[in-house]
Amino acid sequence: MDLNYLDEDLAFRDEVRSFLAQALPPELQHKVRHHLRMSKDDSVRWHKILASKGWVAPGWPVEFGGTGWTPVQRHIFEEECARAGTPQIMPFGVNMVAPVIMAFGSPEQKAYYLPRILSCEDWWCQGYSEPGAGSDFAGLGTKAVQDGDASAELIDEKLIPSDELGSIMRSRNETVRSLRQHERDLADALGRFEIVAADLKRKNHLLENAKRNLADADRLASLGMLSAGIAHELNTPLMAALTNLDIAVECAAGRDGVHQEALLDARLGVNLALRVAQDMRMLASPGTDRQHAVDLGDVVRAACTLVRPRIGRSVQLERRIDPTPPVAEEM
């Protein structure tokens, strides 16, 4: 690819360079090269100089007053203007309003406005109605209130221009989308947290019930161990007493009826005590099945019967019993 200018392009460059050297006022060139402030009169002055040459709108179609230059020629013109230090043509009328009028204006509008833009008879500007921002793109702001469809918060892509303002609007849309996604994620996380909290509450309730059951079990276990200890301590002497009473009853057979009745009553009491001791062992045994389970109420009632004061002859038996019972003789 050959990027060198053709001979006709070089000839066009020489023409542009010669024109700028003659037509550009030195005071305007001085302001541009030293970055001094350009006034409206300075801009209008240079605009009219180019308009008188027919070079003020190279991008316009020829029928509306354009130059008909090729893309290379337009590039050469911009390059030479920069080299010479010319002021820039204000873009609002030539580059912004005029193309819209060409595309959508009526014949009357085109005939009226386009010549006035070329001659700079009309001075066009661009204004913004954004409160507090004016033409400051960085200060632009917008607000949307959700009313029904959440997509109303977003600016329609068809309404977004392809310039710096469009970039800001797209960035704003992305920010809104990201914010709404964060809101959905937060709502989802809160929902999961509520589920976990409800589960923890349920488990805490179960734990409290388990604690109460464990406390009850501890009390029952303590009662069982106490019952087993008492039953174990009572079993041996009660069995010995029952054996001796059986021997005494046999020896008293045919003798004094009072003695024999007292001995039978005493044996009944010992048997009852053995039953209580056995029930207490069964109550304390963790392996007791349902068929042989012991009712705690039965144990209590039997114990109450055991400790209820006996009839008077029981006391008489204690007083009248032979201090050397036949038990000794049998042994």
- Give domain limits for the chain: 7-119, 220-330
Query: Which is nearest to 272 in space by CA: 226, 241, 317?
Result: 241
For residue 298, the one-letter residue type is D
pLDDT at 146: 61
pLDDT at 159: 76
What is the residue whose two structure tokens read 């005071």? Answer: 27
| 329, 268 Cβ separation under 8 angstroms | no
Homologous superfamily of the 7-119 domain (CATH): Acyl-CoA dehydrogenase/oxidase, N-terminal domain (1.10.540.10)
pLDDT at 315: 35
Mean pLDDT of successive 10-residue segments in the chain (331 residues)?
85 95 95 93 95 94 93 94 94 93 93 94 78 64 61 74 82 86 88 89 87 76 67 69 71 64 71 71 57 56 55 39 44 37
Q: Kindly report the pTM of this predicted structure.
A: 0.42
Residue 250: CB partners within 8 Å, gap ≥ 6? none
pLDDT at 137: 63
CA 175, 178, 183, 187: dihedral to nearest 10 degrees? 180
For residue 116, the one-letter residue type is R
pLDDT at 328: 39
pLDDT at 72: 93
Beta strand segments in 107-218, E? none
Vertex 251, ends 247 and 256: CA angle to 5°? 130
| 128, 134 Cβ separation under 8 angstroms | yes
